[in-house]
Structure formats: structure tokens, C-alpha cells
């Protein structure tokens, strides 16, 4: 059955009320053990299972079943699926090349069925893949087979998926997806440059790994990274796009603060462009992002409880949430 966005938005607005709030987060932070968190989540009807991981997986499956039941066009979620395809392709390539077990590491949902992807890698037949992935997949395979350079192999695949993120967002004409993926690609490029400057990556690697996006001067970023970490930081601290200057101040304090800043910037986009939208696909996309960040929050709290980390330290790691 095909639904209109009017129906979907009404359904999502009601569903959003079940997302966890900051008050719920504080209740979870007050728990004393992982087993207490399991009981809390089950009592809330969050998911099924006897461990936090099982409950999170159950919740994810329920989320996708719900979204599929109300979304007029599931193609809107294609960019989020293809990220899983790239993860799976990297995993299969390395597993096949090293003759190690890998199937437990594959994730869904994805566009390319994992059985088809395994067969394609084993036979080096990538023509069945979407056009945007065929050449990068073949090149990644070739690099691993001939040089065993996993970092360069990954760079070809990461570049391909980042470019497809941008292409998919443009095709969608969704203001949220365009802003979201340009922000994501921008900060992915920054991370590549920072790591590259630290390890002395070659110009060839940086040019293959960094992707053009709105607000980014690729040539200048590569030049700055090749000049070393100090020169790169000096360059980045005066860049205003996506509040890069503020992000770099946090990076110098700690990389984890930088990662939190980027995550918060992405969730704020969802709250600004989706939370109060009254038409189009944005409310559905915002609900999806809200669910993703909710699971991240629970995962961080569970990890802190498992390692007996101080509550204040766990709280500092938490990202903003949609609910």
C-alpha cells in the first residue's frame, strides 16, 4: 500500500513521543549496572533480548519495519543503506584475501545482498554492483591483491561512497539530506587530512581520499596536510565553513570532543530541518536520525556501566538527542 507524506508525518509525529528524552537519559545514568539497564529498556518496551546489544538490534529491526510500513518512498534512505554496503565490501574483501571468517561482521540493511557481494568478491565480478561502485570495488580488490595496502584500498571505497552520498542527496532534493551529507563529507575530509598530516600520507593518497563538497577547497586542504600537522591546524582554525574553526579548538583539547561536536552538529541539523517540518520527507528522515542517536546514547551509557566509569564522565560523552 502506498501512503502519502501527510499520513506518514502524522504517524511519525505520534511516534516521536516515544523517543527517549534527556530525563530518560538521566534515569539511565543513575542505574548501577548493565543488567539494570537491560531491565529498564525492557520495561520501556524498547526492544527484546537479554543483553543491551540484543535489545539495540531488536529496536533497530523494529524501527526499519515501522519506517517501511509508512514511507511513501524508501529510496530516500538509500544513502544510509549504502554505508552498510561499503562496510560489508571492505569486510568481505579483507576476509577473502586473508582467508579469515568475516560473516558475523556483516551488517544490514543494505542495497546489495551479502550473498551476492560475497560471490562477486570471490569471483572478482563487480559488474552486478551499482555503477558508482563497480570501478572502485575492482580497484580496491586489485590494491589488496597486489600490495596488501588496506588503507589505500579503503580510501577508494570511502571516496566512492562519499561521492554517492552527495549525488543521492542532490537527487532527493531534500534540504536536510543535502545539508546533512555535505556536513558529513566535509568533516570526513577533515579527519582524513588530520590523520594524513600526522602519518605523513602522500599527495596521491590524500587526493584519492578527500572528496569535493560545498564549502571545501580540496586543493588547499591537501596542500596544508602535506605541510604537516602544525600547518594544517593553522589553516583549519581560520576556516568558517561548518564552524570548522570551533571544531578545531575542540580537537586541540581532545579528539573525542571534536567527534562529539561533529555528531551534535549533525543531530542539530535534523532538529532544525526535520523536527518541525510539516511537509515532505524531512519528518521521516528526522525520526530515523533520532532513533540512530538514541541507540548511540544507550550504547555509550551501557559501555560506561560495563567499565564502571564515573557518571559525570559518561554524561560528558553523550551527544544531543532528537527526543
66-101 as b/e: b if 16+ CB within 10 A: ebeebbeeeebbbbbbbbbbbbbbbbbbbbbeeeee
pLDDT of residue 3: 66
Determine the pLDDT at residue 183.
Answer: 98
- Cis peptide bond prior to 206, omega within 30° of 0: no
At 236-281, the pLDDT tens digits run 999 999 999 999 999 999 999 999 999 999 999 999 999 989 888 9
Q: What is the pLDDT of residues 113-169, one digit of tens each?
A: 999 999 999 999 999 999 999 999 999 999 999 999 999 999 999 999 999 999 999
Average pLDDT over residues 198-205: 96
Domain ranges of the chain: 1-73+281-323, 77-173
Question: For residues 121 and 144, what is the distance between their CA atoms, to the nearest angstrom?
Answer: 12
User: What is the chain's mean pLDDT, rounded?
Assistant: 94
Question: Which CATH architecture fits 1-73+281-323?
Answer: Orthogonal Bundle (1.10)
- pLDDT, mean of residues 296-306: 96
- Say yes or no: domain 77-173 is CATH 1.10.20: no
Closest to 187 (Cα-Cα) out of 165, 169, 219, 211 = 211
Q: In the structure, what pLDDT confidence band is assigned to residue 1 with cuts at 50, 70 and 90?
A: very low
Q: Quickly state the pLDDT bin for 2 (edges 50, 70, 90).
A: low
Amino acid at each position: 500500500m502506498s501512503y502519502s507524506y501527510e499520513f506518514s508525518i502524522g504517524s511519525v509525529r505520534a511516534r516521536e513521543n516515544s523517543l527517549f528524552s534527556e530525563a530518560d537519559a538521566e534515569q539511565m545514568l543513575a542505574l548501577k549496572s548493565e543488567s539494570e539497564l537491560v531491565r529498564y529498556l525492557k520495561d520501556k518496551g524498547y526492544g527484546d533480548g537479554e543483553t543491551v546489544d540484543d535489545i539495540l538490534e531488536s529496536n533497530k529491526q523494529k524501527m526499519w519495519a515501522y519506517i517501511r510500513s509508512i514511507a511513501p518512498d524508501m529510496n530516500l534512505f538509500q544513502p544510509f543503506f549504502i554505508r552498510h554496503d561499503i562496510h560489508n565490501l571492505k569486510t568481505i574483501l579483507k576476509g577473502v584475501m586473508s582467508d579469515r571468517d568475516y560473516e558475523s561482521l556483516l551488517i544490514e540493511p543494505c542495497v546489495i545482498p551479502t550473498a551476492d557481494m560475497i560471490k562477486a568478491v570471490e569471483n572478482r565480478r563487480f559488474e552486478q554492483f551499482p555503477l558508482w561502485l563497480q570501478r572502485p570495488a575492482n580497484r580496491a580488490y586489485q590494491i589488496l591483491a597486489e600490495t596488501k595496502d588496506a588503507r589505500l584500498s579503503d580510501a577508494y571505497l570511502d571516496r566512492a561512497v562519499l561521492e554517492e552520498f552527495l549525488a543521492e542527496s542532490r537527487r532527493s532534493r531534500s534540504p536536510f539530506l543535502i545539508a546533512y551529507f555535505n556536513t558529513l563529507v566535509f568533516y570526513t575530509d577533515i579527519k582524513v587530512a588530520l590523520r594524513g598530516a600526522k602519518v605523513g600520507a602522500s599527495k596521491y593518497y590524500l587526493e584519492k581520499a578527500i572528496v569535493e563538497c560545498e564549502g571545501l577547497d580540496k586543493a588547499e586542504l591537501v596542500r596544508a596536510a602535506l605541510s604537516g600537522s602544525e600547518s594544517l591546524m593553522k589553516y583549519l582554525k581560520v576556516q568558517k565553513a561548518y564552524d570548522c574553526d570551533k571544531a578545531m579548538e575542540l580537537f586541540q583539547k581532545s579528539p573525542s570532543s571534536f567527534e562529539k561536536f561533529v555528531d551534535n552538529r549533525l543531530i542539530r541539523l535534523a532538529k532544525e530541518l526535520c523536527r518541525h517540518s510539516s511537509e515532505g520527507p524531512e519528518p521521516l528522515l528526522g525520526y530515523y536520525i533520532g532513533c540512530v542517536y538514541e541507540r548511540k546514547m544507550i550504547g555509550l551509557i551501557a559501555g560506561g556501566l560495563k567499565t564502571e566509569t564515573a557518571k559525570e564522565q559518561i554524561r560528558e560523552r553523550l551527544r544531543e538527542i532528537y527526543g
